[in-house]
Amino acid sequence: MDGNGRWAEKRGLPRLVGHEQGAKSIRACVEAAIEAGVEFLTLYAFSSENWKRPAAEVAGLMRLLERFLDEKVKEMKKEGVRLQAIGRLQELPSSCQRKLAEAIASTETNTRLTVVLALSYSGRTEIVEAVKQIVRESREGELSEDDITQDFFSAHLDTRNLPDPDLLIRTSGEMRVSNFLLWQLSYTEIHVADCLWPDFGKDDFFEALADYQKRNRRYGGI
């Protein structure tokens, strides 16, 4: 979800206003996903690299996350949306961790759409942590070299209970994956939208799905 800051700066507004506007695009995309029958929607909300931003902006983003959880949980329960999260969640402020855990618990039985928030997330860190866990298991004598398959490795990632993405939507015209789901994106189709994230609405989401439907996914075959 790229371009919140630039959206605000183009209008002479504080960057946090762009993030607030971007939160409205989340709702639009969730509604579009439900209408289209999408089962999983993962939102790259805050990367590990984002901690490098000015302290005031980071604090504002954490407050925005808490407000989003406070305001949207009841709506998610009503609409059958299950909330999940991936990333180094222990790095979030304790109040965010608590509200996030409460939201996840209160929506865990919903089945219409699973929304996954990637928070303090890094694809490289996720892979490194998976390797560390496998090394620990090896030292404890719980596995052999032959046990380490692609499926086995995937089972050690944050997304162990989630399918690999079919489609990656990248806003603001950026042509990179930015350390997002590096293992999982191996055969994911990519759609790049020129608009900044706060301007990304339901029509843009449906356009991305229509573009995806035209793809011929060969997975290395003919």
How far is 188 from 166, CA to CA, in rounded Å? Answer: 5
Which pLDDT score is estimated for 219?
Answer: 78
Please give the torsion angle defined by the CA atoms of residues 94, 97, 102 and 104, in that order, rounded to the nearest 10 degrees: 180
Q: Name the strands in the sheet holding 40-47, side by side, starting at the edge strand that comes first in the sequence.
A: 40-47, 113-121, 81-86
Over residues 153-173, the pLDDT tens digits come to 999 999 999 999 999 999 999
pLDDT band at 220 (very low <50, low <70, confident <90, very high): confident
Q: Are strands 167-170 and 81-86 parallel, antiparallel or unpaired?
A: unpaired
pLDDT > 90? residue 12: yes
pLDDT > 80? residue 197: yes
Q: Are strands 113-121 and 189-192 parallel, antiparallel or unpaired?
A: unpaired
What are the DSSP calls for 194-220, one per residue?
SS-GGG--HHHHHHHHHHHHT----TT
pLDDT mean over 202-220: 93
Which pLDDT score is estimated for 141?
Answer: 85
pLDDT > 90? residue 198: yes
Which pLDDT score is estimated for 95?
Answer: 96
pLDDT mean over 179-204: 97
Contact 8, 17 (CB under 8 A): yes
- Mean pLDDT across the chain, nearest whole number? 95
Over residues 72-94, the pLDDT tens digits come to 999 999 999 999 999 999 999 99
pLDDT > 80? residue 222: no
Contact 81, 156 (CB under 8 A): no
Residue 115's closest CA among 23, 13, 52, 10? 23
Over residues 102-118, the pLDDT tens digits come to 999 999 999 999 999 99
Give catalytic residues, as residue numbers: 2, 50
Residue range 4-113+158-213 in CATH 3.40.50.1110: no
